[in-house]
Amino acid sequence: MESQVIQVGKKYTIYLPKKVVEELRIREGDKLMLKVEGEEIILRKVNSKPKVAKVWSKIKVEEVEKVGEELTRQIIE
């Protein structure tokens, strides 16, 4: 994409050109990272996909309830 000159509006608002929004598939609510390097402003689209945690243990509800009941009995005794 070629360079474009845009204007800073009231309250320092900057509007992204439609071509940029379409090319990067930016949607309302997306997050952008802003970085300043010298006299340059760099905007980068942030990948907002949720990170999936790796499962390190599998346990069933019944097992949790059983342990809870055992602990309760130990406390009461």
pLDDT at 37: 95
Residues of the chain with pLDDT under 50: none
The pLDDT of residue 60: 85
The whole-number pLDDT of residue 50 equals 66
Q: Residue 46 in contact with residue 32, Cβ under 8 Å?
A: yes
Task: Indicate the pTM of the whole model.
Answer: 0.52
Q: Where are the domains of the chain?
A: 10-45
CA angle 24–25–26, rounded 5-degree value? 90
What pLDDT sits at residue 19?
Answer: 92
Question: Given this model, what pLDDT does residue 54 score?
Answer: 74
pLDDT at 47: 79
